[in-house]
Structure 1
Amino acid sequence: MPELPDLQVFSHNLTKLFKGKKLEKIEIKVAQKLNVPEKQVQDALEGSKLDKVVRVGKELQFEFDNNHVLATHLMLHGQLQQFDKTNSHRFTIVEMLFEGDKGLALTDFQKAATPTLDPEKLDTPDALDFDEKYLEDKLSKTKTPVKTVLMDQKVLRGIGNAYADEILYDAKLSPFSASNKIPSAKVKQLAKSIKKVLEDAEKQILKHTPDIISGEFRDFMQVHQPRKKQTPAGETIHQKPVSSRKTYYTAEQELFS
């Protein structure tokens, strides 16, 4: 599943590809999760120009010059695919044709990827834009394992399974730590690691796959490496579930319980 750094890169590249182009036609091929009738989407978006694509939490939001927004959540297997004139991609959820016969399809063989017209704006802070005191307050109110809290989109938007592991490894904090037992100094380090890991990952993705608009590039990851037994520093990688999610960690990460 693409996570925050992947989506950051996708948003930049999609903006470069389609910024300023008029949306000639949009079709919703799978409307079961759409929040409004397809015609309402067509009436709102067709004929308008794309201003930019931004990442909001785990969504990509297509912002148009008439103030309407189409949000897309890729879920586990969603893909964004370019096409010229005619879309031949299988498992299409949404198909957008822009002027110049340049198109973009959102596909998902599981039919789980979700389009939303004009999504509700949420107050939950983004993982790249939060206050350290906010994080300490949220952690102090629950004994839930810290990894589970990091992945809770009602606490911070944007962090998924793989990057939660990377963040906790960078902070040298065990994913099994009870959130309300983590001392202030460690929470401060965790807050720094969240931003550091996510920002560094975006740079790595841009360096190695600069034009990517779908998929994942994770060769640079330190601990969330299912095929490796050791970190680059030589630490043994262990794997154990946290709230049913596969979790990769090392014995050197400090446990607070």
Structure 2
Amino acid sequence: MPELPDLEIFSRNLEHHLKGKQLREIVVKNPKKLNVSVKELNLSIENQKLINVSRSGKELYFEFENKAVLSFHLMLKGELHFLKKEESPKHSILEMHFKDGSHLCLTDFRGMAKATLNPAEDPAPDALAKEIDEHFFKNIFASKKAAVKNVLLDQHVIRGIGNAYADEILWEAGISPFSSAYKIPVEKLKDLAKAVRHVLKNAVEQISKTHPAIISGEVRDFLKIHSPKKTHSPSGVPIIIVKTGARKTYYTEEQEIYN
């Protein structure tokens, strides 16, 4: 699943290619993945100029000149494609055709990716919001007995962090992913807040350097802990992998557990 750093680069590249272009037509191949009727979507954004592409949490926002916003959530395997006019990709959910001949398509072979017209404002902050500090975590964790990793993955608490980056953040902060959130001391919450910002911003920089034009997929080769290709952390401690359902957690004995 693309996480915050991937989507941040996607949004920048999409804005570079599409900002200022007028939407000629929107073709919906899977209406079930829309929150409104195809007719309402057409009336809202067809013939409108795209003025901004941004990211919020794990969603991409396409804002048009009439203030209408269309958001994409790629879910686990959704992808975006720039297309030539004659192309018609498999597993298409929605296609945006611009008057200059540009085409952007949202696909998902699992059929899970979705589009939302004028999404409601989400009360949970983005992981890179200024408010994500030790005070935020102190207030949030006070009533959370769940494992800290599960809390970080809860998009109703903080938006944008997925499985891989949760492991990276917790390793950098020196906190075991199995710690009870409410048991983590305040001084470690400072480390956690710093790790959230540093890990995510560094990932954006790394992806931008190695895959500057990317609009789909995941780039993970620079990760320090969450990598099946690595056996030890940068400090030489063995990486432990625990599988829970379909999710794997990567961590080391360097991380202190609070229970």
Q: TM-score, normalised by structure 2?
A: 0.96
- Separation in structure 1 between the aligned mates of residue 100 and residue 90 of structure 2, nearest angstrom: 22
Contact 1:87-1:95 at 8 Å conserved across structures: no
Moved more, 62-71 or 85-94: 85-94
Contact 1:148-1:243 at 8 Å conserved across structures: no
The residue that corresponds to 1:12 in the other structure is 12
% same residue: 49
The residue that corresponds to 1:188 in the other structure is 190
Per the TM alignment, residue 216 of structure 1 is displaced from its structure 2 partner at its CA by 1.1
- Separation in structure 2 between the aligned mates of residue 234 and residue 208 of structure 1, nearest angstrom: 26
1:32-70 per-position Cα deviation (integer Å, ceiling 9, x unaligned): 121110011111111001111111111001111110011
Unaligned runs of 5+ in 1: none
Seen in structure 2, the aligned counterparts of structure 1 residues 224 and 250 have a Cα distance that, compared at 3 Å, is: same
Counterpart secondary structure, 1:84: coil
Per the TM alignment, residue 136 of structure 1 is displaced from its structure 2 partner at its CA by 1.1
Residue 227, structure 1, aligned to residue 229, structure 2: yes
- Separation in structure 2 between the aligned mates of residue 55 and residue 112 of structure 1, nearest angstrom: 19
Contact 1:24-1:97 at 8 Å conserved across structures: yes
- Separation in structure 1 between the aligned mates of residue 246 and residue 108 of structure 2, nearest angstrom: 24
Residue 142, structure 1, aligned to residue 149, structure 2: no
Output aligned runs, 1:86-101, within 5 Å.
86-101=86-101
The residue that corresponds to 2:102 in the other structure is 102
Seen in structure 2, the aligned counterparts of structure 1 residues 131 and 230 have a Cα distance that, compared at 3 Å, is: closer
The residue that corresponds to 2:36 in the other structure is 36
Output aligned runs, 1:34-183, within 5 Å.
34-129=34-129, 130-132=131-133, 133-183=135-185
- Separation in structure 2 between the aligned mates of residue 156 and residue 108 of structure 1, nearest angstrom: 25
- Separation in structure 1 between the aligned mates of residue 78 and residue 157 of structure 2, nearest angstrom: 24
Aligned equivalent of 1:200, options 202, 205, 224: 202
Per the TM alignment, residue 25 of structure 1 is displaced from its structure 2 partner at its CA by 0.5
Contact 1:92-1:106 at 8 Å conserved across structures: yes
- Separation in structure 2 between the aligned mates of residue 21 and residue 255 of structure 1, nearest angstrom: 51
Tell me the matched-pair count. Answer: 257
1:207-234 per-position Cα deviation (integer Å, ceiling 9, x unaligned): 0000100011111100000232112332
- Separation in structure 2 between the aligned mates of residue 188 and residue 149 of structure 1, nearest angstrom: 16
Residue 216, structure 1, aligned to residue 218, structure 2: yes
- Separation in structure 2 between the aligned mates of residue 230 and residue 89 of structure 1, nearest angstrom: 41
Seen in structure 2, the aligned counterparts of structure 1 residues 26 and 149 have a Cα distance that, compared at 3 Å, is: same
Counterpart secondary structure, 1:253: coil
- Separation in structure 1 between the aligned mates of residue 128 and residue 91 of structure 2, nearest angstrom: 32
- Separation in structure 2 between the aligned mates of residue 141 and residue 208 of structure 1, nearest angstrom: 41
- Separation in structure 1 between the aligned mates of residue 32 and residue 126 of structure 2, nearest angstrom: 28
1:45-99 per-position Cα deviation (integer Å, ceiling 9, x unaligned): 1100111111111100111111001100000000000012233211100101112
Contact 1:52-1:62 at 8 Å conserved across structures: yes
The residue that corresponds to 2:24 in the other structure is 24
Per the TM alignment, residue 244 of structure 1 is displaced from its structure 2 partner at its CA by 5.9
Unaligned runs of 5+ in 2: none
- Separation in structure 1 between the aligned mates of residue 209 and residue 234 of structure 2, nearest angstrom: 20
Q: TM-score, normalised by structure 1?
A: 0.97
Moved more, 197-206 or 119-128: 119-128
The root-mean-square deviation of aligned C-alpha atoms, in Å, is: 1.2
Contact 1:61-1:72 at 8 Å conserved across structures: yes
Contact 1:146-1:179 at 8 Å conserved across structures: yes
